[in-house]
């Protein structure tokens, strides 16, 4: 029996489109107000390894807002957004560590490169996004269909 | 004021991530599992986010400066190098293993699920190790990176 079983999820085009539009709106708002790229990697790294106190401050406030996001959804819809994890804790540790190394060397992740960079038509971000989408798909295929997890 | 704005931007981002399904590893992994339990929802997240950011950035970047702060801080490094592609490739492997990316996991902390804390702890570990490796790779590499920035 596989250790990690794939969980079926329901196709939610409208809800995902609305969520995506909010993500895009947040990126635009941050550029309009503070003039910054809305990248989760840069925001977290700027808190963990702060360049200065003022640089860490707005990032901490933004992180607090992010964490309040699911609670806002709970308040409006009456349901906590679902987090289903078909992955064991050791694999979450391995995956998280690799993500941390990768986004630091790659200077960004799905939000910074995938949303903000693509929206700016940055060649660097398009190259990064194509690369990680490809290796993510390949990894999922290997884990689920070759290793049979 | 800066902190309040940053909090609100984070809230919009976190609510968007929560609604979209990006905070749900089962849904994220199913997007990449075309050969298995495929769920195309995340294409709508990316589509919605990029279209809104594409239009919004065009309007915002016509301004001489952001509302707060002297200038827009946008990465201008045009180089597509091994560091960018290798880092992004590694990020994809981690994302494919864990199902969380940084922008999905940080808002998901608000659900209080232990899996999210495990992932984020490993993510921070990876960021610290990568920053350490980069710093240790010597003044010459650091200089090259600075010129690359």
pLDDT at A1: 34
Query: What are the tokens at A66?
Result: 């992010």
**Tens of pLDDT, residues B99-148:** 999 999 999 999 999 999 999 999 999 999 999 999 888 666 667 767 76
Does B19 contact A16 at a Cβ distance shorter than 8 Å?
yes
Size of interface A-B (CB pairs under 8 A): 515
Residue A4 lies in a domain: no
Give me the pLDDT at residue B145, please.
Answer: 67
User: Are B92 and A132 inside 8 Å of each other by CB?
Assistant: yes
Which residues span the domain enclosing A23?
A: 13-146
Nearest CA distance, B82 vs chain A (angstrom): 9
pLDDT at B34 over 50: yes
A147 interfacial to chain B (CB closer than 8 Å): no
pLDDT of residue A148: 74
- Note the pLDDT of residue A3: 46
User: Is A72 in Cβ contact with B13 (below 8 Å)?
Assistant: no
Output the average pLDDT for chain B: 94
Check whether A125 has a pLDDT greater than 80: yes
Q: What is the pLDDT of residue B136?
A: 86
What local confidence, expressed as pLDDT, does residue A42 receive? 95
Number of domains in chain A: 1
Report DSSP state, residue B110: G
Kindly state whether A51 is in contact with chain B, defined as any CB-CB distance less than 8 angstroms. no
What average pLDDT score do residues A70-93 get?
96
Mean pLDDT of all residues in B55-84: 94
Least Cα distance to A129 among A102, A101, A109 occurs for: A109
Give the list of residues 6+ apart from residue B92 with CB closer than 8 angstroms, or none.
A102, A131, A132, A133, A134, A135, A136, A137, A138, A139
pLDDT score, position B76:
86
Helices marked H in chain B — which ranges?
Answer: 2-20, 25-32, 41-60, 82-98, 102-108, 114-136, 138-148
A68 pLDDT above the threshold of 70: yes
Helix/strand/coil for B141: helix
Within the 77-136 window of chain A, which residues sit less than 8 Å (CB to CB) from chain B?
A: 80-87, 89, 91-107, 109-111, 113-120, 122-124, 127-129, 131-136
Q: How many domains does chain B have?
A: 1
Rounded to the nearest integer, the mean pLDDT of chain A is: 94
So what's the pLDDT on residue A55? 86
Average pLDDT over residues A104-111: 96
ipTM over 0.90: yes
- Is residue B149 over pLDDT 60? no
Q: Does A149 touch chain B (CB under 8 A)?
A: no
pLDDT at residue number B93? 98
User: How does residue A54 score in pLDDT terms, banded at 50, 70 and 90?
Assistant: confident
Q: Does some domain include residue A138? A: yes
Burial of A42 (0-12, 13-18, 19+ CB in 10 A): buried
For the cut 80, the answer to whether the pLDDT of residue A17 exceeds it is yes
Task: Give me the percent of chain A exceeding a pLDDT of 90.
Answer: 89
Averaged pLDDT for residues B52-64 = 97
- Check: CB of residue B86 under 8 Å from CB of residue A83: no
For residue A2, what pLDDT band results from cuts at 50, 70 and 90? very low
CB A20 within 8 A of CB B49: yes
Q: Residue A131 domain-assigned?
A: yes
Give the structural domain span for B68. 2-148
């Amino acid at each position: 029996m596989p250790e990690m079983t794939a969980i079926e999820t329901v196709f939610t085009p409208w809800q995902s489109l609305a969520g995506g539009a909010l993500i895009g709106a947040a990126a635009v708002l941050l550029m309009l107000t503070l003039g910054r790229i809305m990248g989760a990697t840069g925001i977290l790294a700027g808190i963990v390894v702060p360049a200065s106190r003022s640089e860490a401050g707005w990032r901490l406030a933004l992180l607090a807002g992010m964490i309040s996001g699911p609670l806002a959804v709970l308040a409006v819809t009456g349901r906590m957004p679902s987090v289903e994890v078909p992955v064991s804790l050791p694999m979450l540790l391995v995956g998280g560590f690799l993500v941390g190394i990768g986004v630091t060397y790659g200077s960004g992740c799905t939000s910074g490169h995938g949303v903000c960079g693509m929206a700016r038509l940055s060649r660097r971000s398009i190259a990064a996004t194509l690369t990680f989408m490809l290796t993510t798909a390949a990894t999922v295929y290997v884990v689920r269909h070759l290793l049979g997890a | 004021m800066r902190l309040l704005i940053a909090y609100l931007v984070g809230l919009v981002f976190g609510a968007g991530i929560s609604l979209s399904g990006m905070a749900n590893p089962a849904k994220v992994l199913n997007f990449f599992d075309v050969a298995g339990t495929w769920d195309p929802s995340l294409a709508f997240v990316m589509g919605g986010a990029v279209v809104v950011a594409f239009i919004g950035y065009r309007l915002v970047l016509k301004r001489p400066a952001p509302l707060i702060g002297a200038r827009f801080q946008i990465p201008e490094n045009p180089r597509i190098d091994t560091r960018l592609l290798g880092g992004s490739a590694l990020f994809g492997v981690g994302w494919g293993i864990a199902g969380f990316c940084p922008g999905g996991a940080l808002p998901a902390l608000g659900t209080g699920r232990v899996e999210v804390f495990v992932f984020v702890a490993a993510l921070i570990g990876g960021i610290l190790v990568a920053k350490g490796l980069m710093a240790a790779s010597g003044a010459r590499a650091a200089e090259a990176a600075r010129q690359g920035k």
